[in-house]
Amino acid sequence: MPEEFQKIITIELPIYVRKKPNGVYEARFRAHGYNICVSSKDYNKLKFKFLSELTKYTQQPVREPTKEIRPLFIEVCKRWLELKRPEIKPNTYGYYVQLFGANIYPAFIGRHIDELKQSDVQALINSYVEQGKYRTATKIYQTLAAVFEFAVGEEIIERSPMRRIKPPKYEEKTGIALTIAEEREFVGLLTASKCDENIKNALLFLLYTGARRSELAAARIEGDFISVICAKTRKGFRERRRLIPITPMLARWLPGMDIAKLNAVRPDALTQAMKRLMPVHHLHELRHTFITRCQECGVPREVVSVWAGHAADNTQTSNVYTHFSPEYMLKEAQKVIYNL
């Protein structure tokens, strides 16, 4: 035995030799960066083969044993988000980036994902609940549940720390329609306002079509209808246009509107203008108002649902087999007229 190997092999870890059922001798040595396995039917030849392999290791750097890589929590989050990116819309992706950067990463910076406990996650969620930020707390819970579930599926961790955490209680604000008096006030304030004419017209357009603010950019006139691309189309699905009949309420204002200019109005400019004019209401409540007025004027709920881009109800008859004719839709639209 060469002298430089004697101390390692004879003292720290003896060579393991076994005789296999077929009569072949096998010697193994796996320690200190060495990984040697030789075999021979002749025991004496086995020694020389082993020493020959051992000597080769002196001619190259001894490799350190491979250490298990423990990914940081942030690294796993970024991996999850990039895999999710193709299936979500850009604005949704941007929301996740902001949520991670502002609300999640700072709490776990420098931490490995396998060292995070239930108490760590619960403390983060509780901190937002205590501030009264229930919506943020809920979004954090939902996002972390997805990330840790992903980590379990990738065999990065064995169990998710979210298993025993209860979601924070949060009731989504659904909005409320403007009353007739409030609608009258809103239209009066709007016409008297000194804000940009296109912003005024865009707000009136949303009020009397029920379109979402994100649907304004692709709106166009098609005969007696307003055509918009449904904003709720999921990524990967074909874009779907829906038709909203021009009601008498919209017809009053339509001649003074340049739809091409309305397409260019920034959604956030509309949100800000609505906040200035009606501080107790938000922009999306114009959509609530349109849907409410249509039903108050006697338009069937199923028809209004089609105009709004909602499922009429949960029955296959309504959602799959019901197709209202353009003539019928225009007839129902004539009911939407009332005094302000």
Give yes or no: residues 190 and 326 share one domain.
yes
| Domain annotation covers residue 339 | no
Statement to judge: residues 197 and 98 lie in one domain: no
Look up the CATH number of the domain holding residue 242.
1.10.443.10
How many domains would you assign to the chain? 3
**340 domain-assigned:** no
- What is d(CA 221, CA 276) in angstroms, rounded to the nearest whole number? 29
pTM summary value: 0.60
Q: Does residue 252 lie within any of the structural domains?
A: yes
At residue 84, does pLDDT exceed 80?
yes
In-domain check, residue 172: no
Output the pLDDT for position 304: 93
The pLDDT of residue 33: 65
The answer on 199 and 110 residing in a single domain is no
Domain with 319 in it = 180-333
In a domain? residue 171: no
Whether residue 10 has pLDDT greater than 80: no
The predicted structure's pLDDT at residue 12: 44
Angle at 90 between CA 209 and CA 220, to 5 degrees: 25
Mean pLDDT over the full length of the chain: 86
Residue 226 and residue 211: Cα distance in Å, rounded? 10
More confident residue, 42 or 35: 42
Measure the CA–CA gap between 104 and 121, rounded to whole angstroms: 10
Helix-helix angle 180-192:197-207, to 10 degrees = 160
DSSP 231-265: TTPPTTSPP-EEEEE--HHHHTTGGG--HHHHHTS
State residue 37's pLDDT score.
84
Percentage of residues in the chain with pLDDT exceeding 90? 63
Of 134, 153, 172, which residue is a domain's last? 153
Whether residue 160 has pLDDT greater than 70:
yes
Return the top range by mean pLDDT from 3-12, 52-61, 64-73, 182-191.
Answer: 182-191
CA dihedral 257, 263, 269, 273 (to 10 degrees): 30
Please tell me whether residues 277 and 149 are part of one structural domain: no
Same domain, 28 and 121: no
Confidence class for position 50, pLDDT limits 50, 70, 90: confident
Same domain, 191 and 323: yes
Within a domain: 160? no
Query: pLDDT for 234-255, tens place per residue?
Result: 655 677 889 999 999 999 999 9
Would 29 be classed as within a structural domain?
yes
In the predicted model, is pLDDT for residue 173 greater than 70? no
Q: Which of 303, 304, 289 is nearest to 206 (CA)?
A: 289
pLDDT at 318 over 50: no
